[in-house]
Amino acid sequence: MDLRLSEEEKLIRETAAQFVSRELLAREGAYLKQEELFLPPGDPAGRELDAEIRTTLTDVARRIGLWALELPESVGGSAMSAVGQVLIHREFGRTILPFGPACIPALMGESKYAKQLAEGELSLSLAFDELHKSGTSDTITARFRPEPGGYALSKAILDLMNPSADLFLFPAKEQGTNRIGLFLLYRNTSGLTIEDERDLTTDATVARMTLNECKVSNEELLGYEYETGAIVAAEQLRIAARSLGIGMRCLAASIEHARNRVTFGRPLAQRQAIQWMLADLSINLRTCTWLTLEAAWRADQSLPYFEAAALAKKRAAKMAFEAADTAIQIHGGYGVCKEFPFEGFYREARMMRLLYGREMEMNRAIGERFIKEGGRRKARVRRSPAYLAYCLYWCLSPVV
């Protein structure tokens, strides 16, 4: 056991930390205060990062290897280990500035669009709406069926985050066999419409995606259940890592504010009510840090890691929400001001808790499995025959 970062991991962490401090945190204040001096009445508008700034930042991030983390170097990615990705997303989580490495699943590295995705000429969105409930493929209701020369997707309506993307990954179950298929769809795929784009309570948007008897060719079937699960796990790890960043920022800022803010003659830091909020938060931050890193490490070691990633995301997103909540409470009125990052973290963390598995649903799934197995003794690292069969199936399945 050696929980030190390797030299390479240290370098990755350091690079990301410096980029976030110099480029992102330096711009955060301006981003947060972009509103006019007197706001028009009504709901506050969603904030956006200036397009020119975004381009500049993307160029810098790409140059120093903080872009297209999952893709191989041959197509312009960084081929980052899972631990490396966690370290990077953790740093990006420290700022509310809506900027971070785009999510391009590793399996896109094999596709002909890999280079364009890595260079930002194309963007990709995950149409994983049906997986947000439990974080597993159990809840998928969309269906596909084989047809001569390809597949037909049955009618489906779903919510789509990041709706302005050019490419979409969409999982569905095969009629009859219930086998999961992961399809690549294009904006202009016939039968696919994206409409009714709305602001979310976070600064992102959501739109409605309708599939109406879409036909896709054989080569648009990119993967099966394992690939779908791997994307979910990668997203869960990204959310967990980002949550850690939010937790760190909120805790550090709260400690600082509590030291300086005086009430009734004493700094907040000397009040037990404040001390305990921060003590409890710091325990959670610690446990989530190690759960997330351990899950990522397992992924790098080719050990089973889906469950670990799901747990890391469940606990970390909740922790981030509590961290933001604590920071808001300790900052008082400033906490809910849009000029401070905490209310943004609060909205974002609440959203993250609802993506790729909701807590109650995940708890229920874990509990059900445990009860079904009669709570049998679990070996530390045991690869079940089912898992090995699964790996074999994955290796042999024709991935385009």
Partner 1 sequence: MDFKLSPEEESLRKTVEDFVREELVPLEPDFEGAPDIFEGTRWKSRAKLSSNPEVKRYIEIMEGLEKKAEARGLWYLDVPKEYGGMQVSNVAMIAVTEELEKSSIPFEFGNHVSNILYNCKGEQIERFLLPCLRGEKTSTFGLSEPASGADPSMLQTTATPDSDYFVINGTKMFPTFADVADFVQLFTRLPGTKGREGVTCFLIDTGTPGYRVARSIATIAGTEPCELVFEDCRVHKALVLGEVGKGWELNQAWLGARRFQVGIRAHGVSQRVLRCVAELLRHDAKGAEQFVGQVGYFLGELEALRTLTYFGAWKADQKMDVRSEAANVKLFATELLHEVLDVALEVAGASAMRKEHVLARAFRHARGSRIIEGPSEIQRHIIQRALFREGITFLELM
* Positions in the binding site for partner 1 (CB under 8 A): 1-6, 9, 13, 83, 87, 244, 248, 251-252, 255, 258-259, 269, 275-276, 278-280, 282-283, 285-291, 293-294, 297-298, 301, 308, 311, 314-315, 359-360, 362-368, 370-377, 380
Secondary structure, 3-state, 343-397 = HHHHHHHHHHCCCCCCHHHHHHHHHHHHHHCCCCCCCCCCCCHHHHHHHHHHHHC
- Nearer of residues 48 and 373 to partner 1, judged by Cβ: 373
Q: Give the residue among 169, 173, 176 at the shortest CA–CA distance from 192.
A: 169
Nearer to partner 1, 81 or 189 (CB): 81
| Distance (Å, whole) CA 34 – CA 48 | 9
Calpha distance 327→95 (Å, rounded):
14
The Cα 350–Cα 321 span in angstroms is 6
Strand partners, 211: 156, 192
Residue closer to partner 1 by CB (options 184, 291) is: 291
Give which of 115, 210, 228, 80 is closest to 154, Cα–Cα: 210
* Nearer to partner 1 among residue 233 and residue 362 (C-beta): 362
Distance (Å, rounded) from C-alpha 69 to C-alpha 58?
13
In terms of CB distance, is 134 or 189 closer to partner 1?
A: 134
Chain centre distance of CA 315? 14
CB of 126 to partner 1, least distance (A): 24
DSSP class of 340: S
Cα separation, 251 vs 233, whole angstroms = 27
Measured between alpha carbons, how far is 175 from 145 in angstroms, rounded to an integer? 6
For the CB of residue 304, give the shortest distance to partner 1 in the complex, in Å.
14
Nearest CB to partner 1, comparing residues 63 and 377: 377
Q: Cα torsion at 176, 177, 181, 186 (round to 10°)?
A: -20
Q: DSSP secondary-structure letter at 168?
A: E
Based on CB atoms, which residue is closest to partner 1, 16 or 230? 16
Least Å distance, CB 10 to partner 1, is: 8
Shortest Cβ distance from residue 328 to partner 1 (Å)?
A: 18
In angstroms, the CA 244 to CA 386 distance is 33
CB of 321 to partner 1, least distance (A): 16
Closest contact distance (angstroms) between CB of 269 and partner 1 is 5
Q: Yes or no: say if 244 and 289 are a contact pair by the CB < 8 Å rule.
A: yes
110, 102, 109: which is closest to 126 by C-alpha? 102
167-174 vs 143-147, strand pairing mode: parallel
Nearer to partner 1, 216 or 248 (CB): 248
The least distance separating partner 1 from the CB of residue 2, rounded to whole angstroms, comes to 5
What minimum distance in Å lies between the beta carbon of 206 and partner 1? 27
